[in-house]
Copies of this chain bind each other. A is one copy, B any other.
């Protein structure tokens, strides 16, 4: 190996990774997605920045030839792994169970942007198109580009708002998953003819068919193999994340090669493998996160920085184009998803929350834009406009959702009702308290707490237990920091009911931080009370927000002490919590 080449390659990786991580962390500190900082690193180090300021340094760090090949090898692995991680986020079990509810949101949320994008593509001036004679393909691509969503950004926004494990959160996630599945399938299939330049509908149909067969094979046959393998590997918990990571890399690359060989873009293979593995009930949350952390810290920053490296963002920045793309993408998405949510019976305000949530495009849009640019489908101006749109939609999602959900209304600040009948202390006082749970599993703990509510809700205990257990199986409710809030809507209930239990040995609720829950709130809600659910869940979480509060609560012996403890802490924390911002930012960070 030529030593100078190796040195230049190493240095370029060090500089890209270092600057991208640094700017990424600064973005995170400001509450922005990591990818914003990472793209900015590429802008500063690449054609836009460094080549203008210090052309010699730029030429030394990023020459053509072998070092560039080495770097492209690294980013090739990165893009496959990014799609794997995106696939890991998709939980098919949830799609299957909740898909019907989310379907109208997902469909309208895709169709409107698709139509809007196709319209944009047809109206675009010839000068914007790389191949004006292929306007139809270009238009379809813009439509697909506008219709995708960014699961990780959405998940992170939901987490920050404390909505991740609520019903409204699940609905948004499910719609985004359906959206992702269809979007990546459509894009991968499209890329073939786009590159070839030929529009052959028969061939296209066959490719779709092959892709569907490949996906089905992975998800049904591959899934069983994966389940068996993972069960074996997860038995040694310490070694599992590493082993699964290497297994994932191998299988994902093989999947990517297969899709590429059958004429579909390699990214689909990575994505489908991610979905297959992520859907396995044997994959622990902790393992998934370790893998994601590795990709986020080692591969993603170099990839996103290198995306922006060779594009001149100053020369290709077309304000009008960026504004139009951002506007069409946002308006069609928010209205489409919002209409879907309204049709499934939500209030307008909640429907708009869902619309803005799904409007975030994030890193996935950037990957899609890069692949299209590499394939010669779009030029740098459209690329920059799509990147701008991806970042812009991700930035407005959180603040808009927060404002719609928590803004003062009817003269009363919603988050200020600490003395209302919905705060943790009041709910526990009128509910039940179990000072020492006997249960060792989450199901038993739910049962124990449910039975303690007999005097409060009578015969509703049995249907409530069934609902909560079903909900828990679908998506466990461990919040981290030793707190879990199993919950469900129960037909016939008119107001929220809570049972609080303490477990000194801890009970596994599959929390993101891997810690067993020692404080368990069982929360029963009236049906379809989405807004109330959000408030009550946030209130319960807030009452045990800080470590001293949890320690103190764990030491109480009687219901009276527990109520007093919750009450004090809710009051004390109320002010601080509103200003605290992201709490579990580790979960989904791209």
Q: What residues of chain A have their CB less than 8 Å away from a CB belonging to chain B? A: 1, 3, 5-7, 9-11, 13-14, 17-18, 21, 25, 66, 69-74, 76-77, 80, 236, 238-239, 241-243, 245-247, 249-250, 253-254, 256-257, 260, 266, 290, 293-294, 296-298, 301, 374, 504, 512-513, 584-586
Contact = CB atoms under 8 A, between A and B. Distances in A.
A18 B249 CA distance: 9
A245 B294 contact: yes
B7 A260 contact: yes
A14 B248 CA distance: 10
Given A7-B266, A257-B7, A374-B1, A249 B71 contact: no
Nearest to A265: B3
B260 A76 contact: no
9 contacts: A7-B260, A7-B266, A10-B256, A11-B253, A11-B254, A17-B246, A18-B254, A21-B250, A245-B294
Contact of A17 (B250, B297, B513, B585): B250
A247 B25 CA distance: 12
Contact of A254 (B14, B236, B585): B14
A14 B249 contact: yes
Copies, count: 2
A82 B374 CA distance: 34
A236 B480 CA distance: 13
In the complex, which of the residues A266, A294, A301 has the most CB atoms of chain B within 10 Å of its own CB atom? A294
A222 to B, nearest CB: 15
Nearest to A289: B238
B250 A10 contact: no
A544 B17 CA distance: 45
Given A66-B69, A70-B70, 20 more contacts: A3-B260, A6-B72, A10-B77, A13-B77, A13-B249, A13-B253, A18-B254, A21-B247, A71-B73, A73-B74, A238-B512, A238-B513, A238-B584, A238-B586, A239-B586, A242-B294, A242-B297, A245-B297, A246-B297, A246-B301
A367 to B, nearest CB: 14
In the complex, which of the residues A70, A242, A374, A586 has the most CB atoms of chain B within 10 Å of its own CB atom? A242
Contacts of A25: 243
A447 to B, nearest CB: 22
Contacts of A586: 236, 238-239
A72 B243 CA distance: 23
A76 B14 contact: no
A513 B237 CA distance: 9
Contacts of A250: 14, 17-18, 21
A512 B73 CA distance: 34
Nearest to A504: B504
Enumerate the 6 nearest inter-chain pairs by beta-carbon distance, A residue then B residue, closest first: A70-B73, A14-B253, A242-B297, A242-B293, A18-B250, A69-B69
A76 B10 contact: yes
A266 B584 CA distance: 38
A242 to B, nearest CB: 4
Nearest to A295: B242
Contacts of A14: 249-250, 253-254, 257
A6 B18 CA distance: 25
A266 B72 CA distance: 22
A504 B374 CA distance: 58
Nearest to A73: B70
Contact of A249 (B69, B77, B246, B298): B298
A584 to B, nearest CB: 8
A253 B17 CA distance: 11
Given A77-B13, A246-B298, A72 B257 contact: no
B76 A9 contact: yes
Contacts of A74: 70, 73-74, 77
Nearest to A72: B1
A236 to B, nearest CB: 8
Contacts of A80: 10
Given A11-B257, A17-B249, A241 B6 contact: no
Contacts of A239: 293, 585-586
Contacts of A236: 586
Contacts of A71: 73
Contacts of A512: 238
A242 B7 contact: no
A71 B77 CA distance: 11
Contacts of A290: 241, 290
B76 A6 contact: yes
A543 to B, nearest CB: 21
Contact of A72 (B21, B70, B254): B70
Contacts of A253: 10-11, 13-14
A278 to B, nearest CB: 18
Contacts of A374: 1
Nearest to A252: B14
B73 A9 contact: yes
A13 B10 CA distance: 19
Nearest to A296: B242
Contacts of A77: 10, 13, 74
In the complex, which of the residues A74, A293, A374, A504 has the most CB atoms of chain B within 10 Å of its own CB atom? A293
